[in-house]
Amino acid sequence: MTIDKKYLDLLINTTSKAAIASSFMLGKKDKIAADKAAVDSMRKELNKIDMNGEIVIGEGALDEAPMLYTGELLGTKNGPKFDIAVDPVEGTNFVASNLPGALSVISITEKGNLFKAPETYMKKIATAKVEKGLIDLDFSIKKNISNLADFKNSNPSNLTACILDRPRHKKIIEELNKLKVKVKLITDGDIAGALLVTKPIYGIDIFIGTGGGPEGVLAATALDAYDCFFQGKFIFDNENDIKIAKRMGINDLNRKYNLNEIVKGDSIFCATAITDTMSMQGIKKKSNNSYITETLVTHKNSKNSHHYIEKKEIISENVKIKK
């Protein structure tokens, strides 16, 4: 089955309205309220869509979060069955401080085609399309960088790596420095970070490091449409994580996952900029209840893939934040 194109506009509308709702909290130092505004808007819009949708990547379980929780059923119940992954606000700190890089993100696939990731960390590595076997999480940093440089007919000093600025990445950053690789540190937003490998204009050759597992699945949906390379490996730090993984059917705790194991078949990915990003402008108010939004859209189907930035005027009612 091919996902009907009509869902493109419906999902663009969904992330756009969520982004607008969150934008009312820009610079107000309340990341929880920023997230809640986007969640409430996203749920409202998703429930208007003719589909049988289930959240497979959400924000906790029903008894843990009043958010868009994993296992939540959405839509009118009239229509195709979809797996849904959401991150209503990627970069809540960015919204709270009115900084660049905040997104509202959603992706869908046909039922059963999106990996149900546990709420754990994931080791990740992403590049533009490369030869099979060239890049691997089990390789050393030096080997991956050398292989990538050779593939690009370049040398390591001409490459740029993107990585989250975290203490856990100190060793990786030191190794990159020894290899004379240029390093771009990001404070948050590893969905957006991974997407920087999709186009040469962004100047990122490799995204590497440890971040959220759910965010890895969302990024993979978009990277798949760009025919990029992505590999992820979940990290299980304690017995509770292991129990959750096994309950979700993950028995090989050391397994590496490639793109075709994370997302299969047709997919749609939408990421609306709340604040400015490298490729999009954030929410701009046009009139009392009219806003201009920009959304990165990818649509992969069996015949081809499309990816573009959609600029739209969205009519959205003012959002009242409940304290």
Q: Where are the domains of the chain?
A: 6-112+266-315, 121-262
How far does CA 195 lie from the centroid of its chain? 8
pTM: 0.94
Q: How confident is the model at residue 106 (pLDDT cuts 50, 70, 90)?
A: very high
pLDDT in tens, 130-183: 999 999 999 999 999 999 999 999 999 999 999 999 999 999 999 999 999 999
Confidence (pLDDT) at 66? 55
Q: What mean pLDDT do residues 188-196 have?
A: 94
What is the share, in percent, of the chain residues with pLDDT greater than 90? 85
Q: Is the pLDDT of residue 303 over 90?
A: no
Q: How confident is the model at residue 316 (pLDDT cuts 50, 70, 90)?
A: confident
In sequence order, which residues have a C-beta less than 8 Å from that of residue 65 and are 6 or more positions away? 59
Would 6-112+266-315 and 121-262 be classified into the same CATH topology? no
pLDDT in tens, 245-289: 888 889 899 999 999 999 999 999 999 999 999 999 999 999 888
Confidence (pLDDT) at 158? 98
In sequence order, which residues have a C-beta less than 8 Å from that of residue 261 and are 6 or more positions away? 115
Hey, how many other C-beta atoms are within 10 angstroms of the C-beta on 184?
15
User: Domain 121-262, what fold?
Assistant: D-Maltodextrin-Binding Protein; domain 2 (3.40.190)
Confidence (pLDDT) at 62? 46
Instruction: Tell me the CB-side half-sphere exposure of residue 109, using CA atoms within 13 A.
Output: 24
SS (H, E, C) 195-246: HCCCCHHHCCCEEEEEEEHHHHHHHHHHHHHCCCEEEEEEECCCHHHHHHHH
What are the distances in angstroms from CA 174 to CA 124, 130, 161, 177, 180? 18, 25, 12, 5, 10
Q: What mean pLDDT do residues 51-70 have?
A: 78
Relative to beta strand 305-315, strand 257-258 is unpaired
Separation CA 184–CA 207 (nearest Å): 9
Confidence (pLDDT) at 133? 96
pLDDT in tens, 215-252: 999 999 999 999 999 999 999 989 998 998 888 889 89
The residue written with tokens 């099979």 in the block is 132
Separation CA 270–CA 267 (nearest Å): 10
For 6-112+266-315, the fitting CATH number among 3.40.1190.20, 3.40.50.150, 3.20.20.140, 3.30.540.10 is: 3.30.540.10
Confidence (pLDDT) at 302? 74
Burial label for 281, CB within 10 Å (0-12, 13-18, 19+), is middle
